[in-house]
Amino acid sequence: MKWTHDLRRLLGRLRGGEGAAMQRSPGGISCQEAAERVFEWMDGALDPEEAARVGTHLRTCAHCYPMLRFEEAFRAALKDAASQPGAAPAGLEDRIIEALTGSGRSDEES
């Protein structure tokens, strides 16, 4: 599978080539900054200027591009799995949301 190959390459780079991670791309941000914003960028949650900077970095950085490809492939695989009838057990979505929101605490309790 292509995404597993991309994951192996990404993990290998994370173990070895840390120095390259601090380079700046034409987007003007570091790899760390791009990695911290990748999910917001993918969700369209950044303002247009920040989205352009993060997107430029993710698409042009040799260190970050494999991470972007992996995240895109992972999301596509999740979307594909979700479209299959009976792919997930009943209640899975509720359990995931509960886990992500702090073990069942409501927004009012925060």
Residue 86 belongs to what domain range? Answer: 2-109
The whole-model pTM stands at: 0.57
Domain count, the chain: 1
What would you report as the CA-atom Rg of the chain, rounded to the nearest whole angstrom? 17
pLDDT by 10s per residue, the chain, length 110? 566 666 666 666 555 554 444 455 657 899 989 999 999 999 999 999 999 999 999 999 988 999 999 999 989 988 887 787 776 777 887 888 888 887 545 454 44
Mapping DSSP onto H, E and C, the string for the chain reads CHHHHHHHHHHHHHHHCCHHHHCECCCCCEHHHHHHHHHHHHHCCCCHHHHHHHHHHHHHCCCCHHHHHHHHHHHHHHHHHHCCCCCCCCCHHHHHHHHHCCCCCCHHHC
